[in-house]
Structure 1
């Protein structure tokens, strides 16, 4: 289809091959600037143009958003002001686009009398649409939203820019990892003394923009913070500040608590009240002030903002004890050998001592740059890593893959609402299970190879007979989407993690719910069990990992070393090491027994979305929004190889039982099969 670019066209979509629009007879443009293919209209800008969903043919048809400025009244003040704001928006995106939660500017140009601004496409829904689907948010979710958005405001305010239109429509939650992005910088303004002191044209949205901005045209960082508070009020109560403003102006701000369904905790109540102060002098003056009140005991840091710079957080300095008794003994033994000569018996004895001491030394040492010397035996390399097959059959993003214990079958699921079963050896589709009404986020196969379990956005878990593809039962209990599943080694216990912030334990044979684990304050997106099924690890968007006693159902400890949301966790086959991935672009390895961080692996340039250990525990695979897969040696932290082949976010990776095959899934709608040979 070809989309007509006339902003007044009532039916802009036309069949391919047409030269003129069938509705308005406007000449059709197949590619804007010979690069951008317009797919469909996203929104109408009220006579000044439209916003379109498009494809960038220079970037493998990657999705992008094109904003069009085509004012009807040429030469008027309105047209001049619109063009000025449009150019300013492009400049703001150019200045701010390095932040991973602000769209990147891709192009800005004029064609056929119109101005076009091309920016990164954020695959997700804005918070207003999200609110319409779920009605309200609870206080824990509001606090999480504040903690996600405040660093973005700090980032733009530090660069002397005020957004001036903070509201639910301008905040989009990424579909893949739940992070929030701030969009629409068309109203943003450079924060200068002139802006502070000069009254001007009112810009913003009534109800969300504070009195000083609506009445006087003045904008400050505190003005954006009012908009953030009004946004959270809307999400918390379901009451639109715009509607309240229509009824009584800003009177609602003084008695905002009367709209609450239940009282807030004192901390959030205080923050909300100070955000919504009508008098700017009584309001928070900076994002840092709000963050300090929300997280007084936490280290506050911006997420990595190197989208364009490519800077990667440095690996933590290796830990070495202050004294080195083992190393001293090793040196002493070497000296004795040199003193007394290299007889064969002495040499064999020395090698035994050296091997023993080196091994013990490595256990006390968190590997760093010198690991190649200390642990030669732990090095892993591949003679060949080859892409054996690419499976195409899902209509949209593939979100999860699993391999059967016999290594013969791949199960996959995606946002096309389907589960597919594939022959791993041939890549042929075996069957497709199409009973879901919404997207299927995760699939897992039981260790005995008999059962397939799936979870999705319909809040339910489905149990399937893997051999026949017939559904056995549906487990109902969660109140929000399910994104994480794990099955115990004996195939008797199922664990599920949900966006309702809970973890549920089920009897897989009967479908009976055993217990619910609570403690996370935001979405639970990953769970992993050790081999004996006694220990559970869970990763959450509340930036924590929790370790649970699965038998008795209590939390053993909470790991808080991540500066951003935890997207994925995995436990090594020997049950000693926990791996976690995060939006901070790092992978952390933890001692599962003690909760101590062993090391941090860096190398990905975007969110780490998935991690998996090989069956022998010698390799760790990670996938990322940077579209790559990396293989690591978990014993040393060494990066073995990077696999590039997917053209969009890698969503899931898993190893075959014989460690010779890696299977990956991606938002590019494909599954890839990689052969590993040492």
Structure 2
């Protein structure tokens, strides 16, 4: 097939809608062959009502994507055009699989995972509803889990409708999916925010029980929602039970009327009040020293995130709203802490402040690394398959490395400061001369994206983790492949090498951590106990402790000698994306999708301090070798340098 609009190249068919068109996986030649999805509308029944309806829905979907694509969990519209009597809609490709396919692989979901899904999707619904849009076809097939970070995206806005009072009252053609769509939508053609919330509830029910709402609807109509609990394998915790029950009410008046109502029931009941004036200086505090217990810290972050969500539709960009509310909430918490426990202000002898913010990436920063002398920062981002080098002192961009053909997921600098290593979606690892910027060599051997890299302290060994479920060990000097570790059943997203260079740890989407010895082929130990994907692993300086982070929002500390869990750290309100030990081994830093970085006292397990300042997910965090700086990268397109100085 020739290029569509002299730009888009079709790779393969994703789905075939029979007489109305097809959906293709494609690539955008104007963007270095970046993947995209092309929907083609080519109805065979020319001039019929069905053709007109299909064309109307197709145009509506393009319009909705244009309006809503600014949200990171909704595909962006790239193009909409007509060619050769067909309509084409080009949208962002979400690299992952939908929840129906995920359910077919794993059979059911645990209650905690259902809560995580609600945390992920309710804010998205609040976002579209605040903009007057009702999706009208929420179901597992229309929710995709991004394989990069596990975030859920809502797709297929072809059935969506602008919500107005007039639309709400109008009785028209029903659109939706039987079993997932509520009575008022299928019977009367009415659609309002509560309709989408019913569909979300039915989706959660399907994932939780493995029982299809469509089959129940075929057998019992809407009667099944009155006794949905009979399909549960085990009783739910009261909060989740009540929330699902209210989502699934047949009577629209008894159902949640907005996503924010459901969010409030998903979070603790004690909601912190804003100051009476509702005003703030607009300045974002750099650090917050939490003096509440760890459980209260978790509550604070949940309240913060949900409060931001409630403000999505108030006219400003949600980033500005985030800054404003964040300032108010943290100010209130500081006042409370200062009055109740002044002794806790000196938890640490270090004073941490935001020294600089580096801007230059067009999209998300996904990985950062700092040179041994602390003078150079390397970063990779989403916009192009490039790597940027920065002057850590001035914040100026030094150079850009180009050579990969697809996104660079991870960068690492060797302990001698001479070599930069990068791993990419193009299935290769590249070694660069950090002084000259010249490519040294390319390592090939993985059959899927490289997601994780680690270099031994002696600089001799490189370890890589990939979405091909394997870990490979390389001789960094020669590029020779030494060994391949197999044993994980899903993507490997994190690797670490012990300080003595003898042991490798790997974390995977299969929810396990495996410990390997470089001289042996099979894992010497598997650490289980996490409820979700392992996102990051790190060894302590003495090599006796392994820290692991997970999408279940916890950090676990493990005794490597026994394989026993020492302690679980709880405090983040969303997925933890990255962890790093300080050079002195006393502190652990963690980055999260809750937009914060937390510092933990490893001796006590207590949270020391929370750093706020990023406006989106913090994807990567690392200490400088001298322990005087902390560097973080974020989906807000920035890199931040935090300085640690004695008080």
Query: TM-score if structure 2 supplies the norm length?
Result: 0.71
- Please point out which of 385, 398, 403 is paired with 1:386: 398
> Residue 96 of structure 2 contacts residue 144 of structure 2 at CA under 8 Å; is this kept in 1?
yes
Q: Secondary structure at the match of 1:581?
A: strand
The correspondence of residues 523-602 of structure 1 with structure 2, limited to 5 A, is 523-546=533-556, 553-556=564-567, 558-560=569-571, 562-588=572-598, 595-598=606-609, 600=611, 602=613
Following the alignment from structure 1 to structure 2, what is the Cα–Cα distance between the partners of residues 364 and 405?
Answer: 25
2:200 aligns to what? 228
Report the Cα offset of residue 260 of structure 1. Answer: 4.9
Go from structure 1 to structure 2 and tell me whether the alpha carbon gap of 1:161 and 1:381 turns closer, same or farther (over 3 Å shift).
same
2:353 aligns to what? 367
Report the Cα offset of residue 527 of structure 1. Answer: 2.0
Report the Cα offset of residue 44 of structure 1. Answer: 3.6
Unaligned runs of 5+ in 2: 270-298, 340-345, 357-374, 376-390
Query: Over the residues paired in the alignment, what is the CA RMSD in angstroms?
Result: 4.4
1:128 paired to 2:96: no
Report the Cα offset of residue 531 of structure 1. Answer: 1.0
Following the alignment from structure 2 to structure 1, what is the Cα–Cα distance between the partners of residues 192 and 396?
Answer: 58
Following the alignment from structure 1 to structure 2, what is the Cα–Cα distance between the partners of residues 232 and 361?
Answer: 42
1:138 paired to 2:150: no
Q: Secondary structure at the match of 1:100?
A: coil
Report the Cα offset of residue 284 of structure 1. Answer: 3.8
**Cα deviation digits, residues 275-311 of structure 1 (max 9, x gap):** 3344444544433343344333643435777999583
Following the alignment from structure 1 to structure 2, what is the Cα–Cα distance between the partners of residues 383 and 73?
Answer: 60
- Please point out which of 466, 481, 485 is paired with 1:474: 485
The correspondence of residues 128-167 of structure 1 with structure 2, limited to 5 A, is 128-167=100-139
Larger gyration radius, structure 1 or structure 2:
1
Task: Point out the more displaced range, 540-549 or 122-131.
Answer: 540-549
> Residue 633 of structure 2 contacts residue 640 of structure 2 at CA under 8 Å; is this kept in 1?
no
1:613 aligns to what? 623
**Cα deviation digits, residues 97-131 of structure 1 (max 9, x gap):** 33221223344455665544443332332222333
> Residue 433 of structure 1 contacts residue 469 of structure 1 at CA under 8 Å; is this kept in 2?
no
2:285 aligns to what? none
Report the Cα offset of residue 558 of structure 1. Answer: 2.1
Following the alignment from structure 1 to structure 2, what is the Cα–Cα distance between the partners of residues 64 and 432?
Answer: 27
Following the alignment from structure 1 to structure 2, what is the Cα–Cα distance between the partners of residues 380 and 169?
Answer: 45
2:497 aligns to what? 487
Task: Point out the more displaced range, 454-463 or 227-236.
Answer: 454-463
- Please point out which of 77, 91, 98 is paired with 2:49: 77
> Residue 549 of structure 1 contacts residue 556 of structure 1 at CA under 8 Å; is this kept in 2?
no
Task: Point out the more displaced range, 36-45 or 211-220.
Answer: 36-45
Report the Cα offset of residue 410 of structure 1. Answer: 5.7
The correspondence of residues 178-257 of structure 1 with structure 2, limited to 5 A, is 178-246=150-218, 249-250=221-222, 252-254=224-226, 256-257=228-229
2:258 aligns to what? 286
Go from structure 1 to structure 2 and tell me whether the alpha carbon gap of 1:62 and 1:471 turns closer, same or farther (over 3 Å shift).
closer
Go from structure 1 to structure 2 and tell me whether the alpha carbon gap of 1:417 and 1:133 turns closer, same or farther (over 3 Å shift).
farther
Task: Point out the more displaced range, 258-267 or 208-217.
Answer: 258-267
Following the alignment from structure 2 to structure 1, what is the Cα–Cα distance between the partners of residues 266 and 161?
Answer: 27
Q: Secondary structure at the match of 1:311?
A: helix
Following the alignment from structure 1 to structure 2, what is the Cα–Cα distance between the partners of residues 139 and 30?
Answer: 47
Report the Cα offset of residue 565 of structure 1. Answer: 2.3
1:522 aligns to what? 532
- Please point out which of 86, 90, 109 is paired with 2:62: 90
Following the alignment from structure 2 to structure 1, what is the Cα–Cα distance between the partners of residues 352 and 423?
Answer: 38
1:641 aligns to what? none
Q: How many residues align?
A: 558
1:104 paired to 2:76: yes
> Residue 2 of structure 1 contacts residue 30 of structure 1 at CA under 8 Å; is this kept in 2?
no
Go from structure 1 to structure 2 and tell me whether the alpha carbon gap of 1:107 and 1:587 turns closer, same or farther (over 3 Å shift).
farther
> Residue 590 of structure 1 contacts residue 596 of structure 1 at CA under 8 Å; is this kept in 2?
yes
> Residue 546 of structure 1 contacts residue 559 of structure 1 at CA under 8 Å; is this kept in 2?
no
Report the Cα offset of residue 493 of structure 1. Answer: 4.4
Go from structure 1 to structure 2 and tell me whether the alpha carbon gap of 1:36 and 1:460 turns closer, same or farther (over 3 Å shift).
closer
- Please point out which of 400, 405, 409 is paired with 1:399: 409
**Cα deviation digits, residues 22-76 of structure 1 (max 9, x gap):** xxxxxxx543xxx656655443444334444455566565444444444444544
**Cα deviation digits, residues 614-666 of structure 1 (max 9, x gap):** 3333444444446x5636243279xxxxxxxxxxxxxxxxxxxxxxxxxxxxx
**Cα deviation digits, residues 318-363 of structure 1 (max 9, x gap):** 979979xxxxxxxxxxxxxxxxxxxxxxxxxxxxxxxxxxxx9995
1:445 aligns to what? 455
Report the Cα offset of residue 444 of structure 1. Answer: 2.2
